[in-house]
Structure 1
Amino acid sequence: MLDEVLRPAVRVRVTDRGPSGPLVLEVTDAAAIGRLRAALTTTGSTGAYCACHGDLGFDFLDADDRSLAVVGFHHAVTLRWSGWEDGDARLRDGRAVLHWLADQGLPEPLAQEERRRHERSEAQRVEQSWIAAAPPVVRDLAEVAANASHTNGVIPPDLYDRLRERLTAAFPGPLERTGVLLAWYGAGTGRLSGYPVHEAAPAPLLAETPIARIVETLLTHPDDDAIAAGAIRHLRHWKSRPHLKRDLATIPEALRARLNLS
């Protein structure tokens, strides 16, 4: 239906940041407009609307300079048009639109999408590494937590109890269990903030672990970089423990220096 509406178009105005943004490109070549129409082929409605205004807007005009349709381009994935009443439409090949833009002398949207793809790929690799670092006995729960990062961003509350129960059964020795938790917590991005939601899964269990047990675990494994990484991440986060300042004061100075906590 959209393609039929666009058939009389002799000019396309491309705007940045959605249909109401600044003009960045204008095309009047008939063959190029035809290729754009083909690139905008959709495969059906998503049944929903993207929350943003879109990355780009395409305003198609006829020979009398009348606007035939204004189309919003969202993340190289969907299109928005007022002629559809049941949500945005899914593009058959969003990258075809980006390549069309590059051919018209506007390469940045394609370059931006390439960066996004690289970031998504890297995030997926790190996520899989974090799941693999989870103790086998709770790896399925790690996947549940990871799924939360892609849905509502909230780890199911009962997951912590299930983690505690399984880890206690699999590692009855408190020091071994603490070491396992620290090593897992140190995996993934390793960031102190701005990390994916799922990487916080071990945090509540570490928060309830006595600081003396964490210290003993570190002293028992002086050369274990994975355990040290988890301890650094845990103890350098300002909200990691109910009484963090007091707990930090109990850590031997040499260990504080090793963990860069001084």
Structure 2
Amino acid sequence: YSLHVPRQGAAQVVLIGFPNVGKSQILSRLTKATPQVAPYPFTTQEPQVGMIEFEDIKIQLIDTPPITDDFIQPWLSPIIRSADLVLLVADLGSEEVLEEIDGLTGRLERSRIKLVSDDPKEVGLFGDAYKKTIILGNKSDLEGAEIRLETLKDLYADKFPIIPVSSESSGSWVGLKKEIYRALNIIRVYTKQPGESADLKDPVVLKKGSIVLDAAKAIHKDFAHNLRYVRMWGSSKFDGQQVDRDHPLQDGDIVEFHM
């Protein structure tokens, strides 16, 4: 039995955690998804998908069944492996929060998935997978949560970014959305036709470090093949500057392709 979640949007992010840490509520806060939320364990049995709307792009967010130190759904490992970013939800209301994180990370390592703070290394499907991870310290409003958060930071701050959240709060989640976007290391590049205004509604999403040629390939392979020159607005020295096809791109750049 296997499950596959088709990729949508600019990137794919996965929520993982022990039972009852509040993953489903976080999914509903960050997206318009309406997963079943209940105060008993293992409410989520299959992947629940929502789309995070961040400025002019959408990021796919997947809620997953709980992982414990001795159990993970067999089909869940491939979903974690294929994600661009992992959000590990820790329960700051639990006195066992440190043991839960250790148990979860240990169980994943037995599935050859290692959670790390930097960008994942390229690996084959059956090799070790290094997944960039943020820890979300949920239930930060509960008694004792502040002390547990500090303990969590003492032990894990050198390994992962740690962000306190409260899934009970319906306040602004814009800050977390920005952190997710930043962690994904992606940029948005806009295109324009000669003599027309730029299309600022539908950016081309690329990895940081991409060049002009990557943007052309992302639109259509023929673009890259037939490209004569490119004009750029944004990070170029001046607006409309003609740049080479290996010119590095920055978030928010506008490019005009000439065939």
TM (norm. structure 1) is 0.27
| Structure whose residues are more often helix by fraction | 1
Higher relative contact order (CA 8 A, sep 6+): 2
Larger radius of gyration: 1
| Structure whose residues are more often strand by fraction | 2
TM (norm. structure 2) is 0.27
